[in-house]
């Protein structure tokens, strides 16, 4: 498979090599994950086969097809979170339920800003979407409302 040949680093490089002014490039960061059903829960690496015979996975709260919000992911049970991989972004899986989700977290956001936005003097960061982060602070972290918008705040912290 060659999916990893198409990534955010190569997209930024393509724009810059095409003489797009860096200040006109806004790096998009999502507050959701792309979710898939696995054919086999025990085969769960980056290039794992997905079960396309099943309807797309839907988030518990939003019902969005193939998408899990930050708060939906925090509300689920995961077998493992994998952070060291060639995608340079985390993914989590649940062997029993055969679910796989790829997403950004605070560390991958920091890496993107520190390696792409700042050194290339990009115009900034765009987020899709505020409402998909843990806006209540009740699902991720302490679950007491003190950790509202964890991903948005990670972006803010890195850009200050």
pLDDT in tens, 42-79: 999 888 888 988 888 899 999 989 999 999 999 999 99
**pTM of the predicted structure, to 2 decimals:** 0.90
Tokens at 65, concatenated: 């097809």
Contacts of 156 (CB under 8 A, 6+ apart): none
**3 vs 69 pLDDT, higher one:** 69
Buried b (16+ CB within 10 A) or exposed e, 4-40: eeeebeeebeebeeeeeeeeebebebbbbbebbbbee
**1 vs 54 pLDDT, higher one:** 54
Give me the percent of the chain exceeding a pLDDT of 90. 76
Domains of the chain: 3-159 (3.10.50.10)
Instruction: Identify whether the C-beta of residue 73 lies closer than 8 Å to the C-beta of residue 101.
Output: yes
């Amino acid at each position: 498979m060659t999916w990893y040949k198409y990534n955010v680093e190569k997209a930024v490089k393509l724009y810059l090599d095409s003489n797009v002014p860096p200040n006109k490039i806004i790096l998009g960061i999502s507050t959701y994950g792309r979710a898939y059903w696995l054919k086999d829960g025990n085969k769960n690496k980056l290039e794992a086969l997905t079960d396309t015979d099943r309807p797309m996975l839907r988030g518990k709260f939003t019902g969005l097809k193939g998408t899990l919000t930050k708060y939906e992911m925090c509300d689920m049970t995961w077998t493992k979170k994998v952070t060291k991989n060639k995608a340079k972004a985390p993914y989590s899986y649940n062997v029993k339920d055969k679910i796989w989700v790829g997403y950004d977290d605070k560390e991958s956001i920091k890496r993107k800003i520190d390696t792409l936005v700042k050194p290339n003097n990009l115009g900034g960061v765009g987020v899709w979407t505020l409402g998909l982060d843990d806006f209540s602070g009740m699902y991720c972290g302490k679950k007491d409302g003190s950790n509202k918008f964890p991903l948005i705040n990670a972006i803010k912290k890195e850009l200050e």
